[in-house]
Chains A and B, each alone.
Chain A
Amino acid sequence: MIEKELRQRLDWFIKLRWLAGIGVLLAILISKFLLKITLPYNFLYIGGITLFLYNFIFYLYQQKLKQKIDSKNWVREANLFANVQISIDLGMLTYLIHFSGGIENPFIFYFVFHMVIASILLSNKAAYLQSTLAVILFGLVIIFEHLKIIPHYHLTGFISEEYIFNRKYLFGIYTSFISTLYLVVYMATSIVNKLRMREEELALANERLAEQDRLKSRYVLTVSHDIQSSLSTIQNCLKVVLVGLTGELSEKSKEMIARAEQKTLYLLSFVKDLLNLSRIKAVKELEKSKFSLKETIIKVIEDLKQKAEEKKITLELEIPENSCLFYGNKEAIEELLINLIINGIKYTPWGGKVGIKMKKIEEKEGCFHLCVWDTGIGIPKQDLSKIFDEFYRSKNAESMEKEGTGLGLPIVKEILKVHNGEIWVESEIGKGTSFFLH
């Protein structure tokens, strides 16, 4: 985590320096040709070129450093690298300032940028050390120029020379310079510290959430095994008795056992739906792959044919001839289709029709429009907004099929959510219902 952040910031720093180099060259050209200021331009050119050269070396070193990001001392090495870069930059800025007017140059406050960068990249202590280095370097330039130990290059036409050798003026500028640098470092580091703390807190909270998620999944799995396998056993025991494997039964006993078996089957499907819903809600992302949606639809229709035939319902299929691949979780999409079509079959009277239409969305690759329709009992208008709520069953659905979990459509909705899809419904009482998906 720290490694990745540091690496990104170092990359950013090097990119920033390319821009700075271009800025320096532009400033030189403008002062020479536009402002026509007399300055030792050769020294400035040397400075600008050196800036590009050492940034190139830094770039190469950074590439090398990136490759061994897994090594033990990486953070230490990267920190040292950042420190060296900032120190050299400060040296370069001092050099450029000296040859372009020293204290007269309005660009002296560019030291502030270096302080901000140091505060972001380095530890607090290192940032303060770097600001001290800047104070010393700049101090040496103005003091040595003032004492004429090194030459002063006057910016003709900027300020008159009498100010420059006025000690009060120098003192004023230098004091404000020092205080600005330290204050900037103080402010920037406190903001950065706060951000870093927040980041750590968030990372911790994230980790905790992930852990809870895993626990929840584990819990769901435990519950599913226990409830489902016990219910299965009950159903099995009843079935064995019901089909007469344990001896003949009276008609009444048979009927009672059949009732118990039916109820158990209902409970089983309820638990299964509930668990499927919890499972899909417990994960943020399902494993996805590319598969043919067309083939999946055909398979689902094939699987449900018998169920439809029991009610003499015709299944109609309308899909494009050549279909492209769909990126998603195949099992989940299969379940979505099964849920919708089974609903159609369930709530369509004897002899009706249930169908599925598929259309490619031309503008978006891998996206499809699906419509699952039926000629069933329909959904009352006031219920349309509620049918995707967990456990909700429409009144007329209840009157047609006594048993239903009210979880089929919520599962459909959750599966679509994971696939960035949408669903809406149109329905007319007595005529049928259409679910549209994309």
Chain B
Amino acid sequence: MEKILIIEDDVDMIEVMKVVLQKGNYVVITAFDPEEGFQKIKEEKPDLLILDVMFGSEQKTKGFDFAYKMKQDKELAKIPILMITAVNIKYPQFGFSPETDKEYLPVDDFIDKPVQPEALLKKVEELLKQKVSKWANWPDKKT
């Protein structure tokens, strides 16, 4: 069974995704902040990472930093990342949008909150099929 790590600070959100993914017969591991997540990703070597963008009340975009940090490690860089975009940020002044900035982010796909069960399962399935992250050689864009 494939192993999926979820790094997300919203406990309820984790619970929801856990229910959905377990129904899809995946092993789910969870972490509540990037620090814990980094330890778990090294220990558990999951097949897929589901990562939130913003963490904590200060809403730091730690999700980005986490993705960059992962790509520094040759082994971890291969794990595909599905990023949960919490805020639908349409205008570039406010940070980032998957539409315009995806070229600059080493993540494989995005999923919008609220996360719909079918959409989540579909994206997870696709990324697991892909096996190796398309950003495995970050910052070089080609795999």
- Using CB atoms and an 8 Å cutoff, list the residues of chain A in contact with chain B: 217, 220-222, 224-225, 228-229, 231-233, 235-237, 239-240, 243, 245-246, 268, 272, 276, 279-280, 283, 286-287, 329, 331-332, 335
- A223 → chain B closest CB, angstroms: 10
Q: Is the CB of A245 within 8 A of B19?
A: yes
Interface residues on B, range: 20 to 34
Contact call B90/A240, Cβ cutoff below 8 A: no
18 A/B residue pairs, CB under 8 Å, sorted by A: A217-B93, A217-B94, A221-B95, A228-B87, A229-B87, A229-B113, A232-B86, A232-B115, A233-B16, A236-B13, A237-B12, A240-B16, A240-B19, A268-B114, A279-B90, A283-B91, A287-B91, A331-B97
> What is the CA–CA distance of A222 and B57 in the complex, to the nearest angstrom?
8
- Cβ distance A278 to chain B, nearest Cβ, rounded Å: 11
From the candidates B15, B86, B90, name the one contacting A228 in the complex (CB within 8 A).
B86
Q: Verify B16–A236 contact, CB threshold 8 A.
A: yes
Q: Any chain A CB within 8 A of the CB of B54?
A: yes
Q: Mark B16-31, 1 if CB is under 8 A from A, else 0.
A: 1101100100000000
10 tightest A-B CB contacts, nearest first:
A232-B113, A232-B114, A235-B114, A236-B16, A233-B12, A229-B86, A287-B92, A233-B13, A331-B90, A236-B114
A245 and B20 contact, Cβ closer than 8 Å, known pairs A228-B86, A331-B90: yes
A286 touches B93 (CB 8 A): yes
Interface SS of A by simple majority: helix
Among B19, B90, B94, contact of A246 (Cβ-Cβ < 8 Å): B19
Query: A331–B99 contact, CB under 8 A?
Result: yes
Tell whether B10 is near chain A: CB-to-CB under 8 Å: yes
Residues of chain A contacted by B115 (CB below 8 angstroms)? 232, 236
Chain A residue nearest to B18 (CB atoms) is A240
Instruction: Point out the residues of chain A lying under 8 angstroms from B72, CB to CB.
Output: none
Question: Which residues of the partner chain B approach A222 to less than 8 Å between Cβ atoms?
Answer: 59
A239 and B23 alpha carbons, distance in the complex (Å): 14
Taking CB as reference atom, which chain A residue is nearest B59? A225
Chain B residues, Cβ within 8 Å of A243? 117
Bound-state CA distance A268–B100 (Å) is 23
Q: Which residues of B contact A287 (CB under 8 A)?
A: 91-93
Complex partner residue of B86 from A225, A240, A276, CB under 8 angstroms? A225
A332 to B92, CA, bound (A): 10
Residues of A within 8 A of B16 (CB): 233, 236-237, 239-240
Does residue B88 face the partner (Cβ distance < 8 Å to A)?
yes
Residues of B within 8 A of A225 (CB): 54, 59, 86-87
* B12: chain A residues within 8 A (beta carbon): 233, 236-237
State which residues 8-51 of B face A: CB under 8 Å. Answer: 10, 12-13, 15-17, 19-20, 23
Provide the bound-state CA to CA distance between A46 and B22, in Å: 98
A225 and B59 CA atoms in complex are apart in Å by 8
- Give bound CA distance, A388 to B59, whole Å: 33
> How long is the Cα–Cα vector from A229 to B55 in the complex, in angstroms?
11
Closest residue on chain A to residue B120 by CB atoms: A236
Instruction: Indicate the member of B94, B97, B100, B117 with the most A CB atoms within 10 Å.
Output: B94
On chain B, the residues within 8 Å of A335 by CB distance are 90
Q: A225-B59, A233-B16, A240-B19 are in contact. Are A276 and B90 (CB under 8 A)?
A: yes
- For the complex formed, measure the closest distance between the CB of B131 and the CB atoms of chain A, giving whole angstroms: 26
A221:B91 contact, CB within 8 angstroms: no
Query: Which of B23, B88, B91, B94 contacts A332, CB < 8 Å?
Result: B91
- Which residue of chain B has the shortest Cβ distance to A287 in the bound complex? B92
Please report the C-alpha to C-alpha distance between residue A268 and residue B12 in the assembled complex, in whole angstroms. Answer: 17
Assess whether B116 is interfacial by the CB under 8 Å rule. Answer: yes
Closest Cβ of chain A: how far from B97's Cβ, in Å?
7
| CB-defined contacts of A268 to chain B, threshold 8 Å | 114
Q: Write the chain B residue with the least CB distance to A229.
A: B86
Beyond A217-B93, A221-B94, A276-B90, 4 additional pairs, beta carbon < 8 A = A220-B94, A224-B87, A233-B114, A236-B13
CA distance A268 to B88 in the complex (A): 11
Instruction: Flag if A283 contacts B93 (CB, 8 Å).
Output: yes
Known A236-B16, A240-B16; contact A332-B90, beta-carbon cutoff 8 A: yes
* Docked complex Cα distance between A220 and B117 (Å): 29
- Cα separation A126 to B20 with both chains bound (whole Å): 79
Shortest distance between the CB of A291 and any CB in chain B (Å)? 11
Contact yes or no, A245 B117, CB < 8 A: yes
Most buried by B among A240, A268, A272, A286: A240
Shortest distance between the CB of B104 and any CB in chain A (Å)? 15
User: Which of A228, A240, A280, A329 makes the CB contact (< 8 A) with B113?
Assistant: A228
Instruction: Chain B residues near A276: list those with CB within 8 A.
Output: 90
Tell me, in angstroms, the Cα distance from A243 to B119 when the chains sit together. Answer: 13
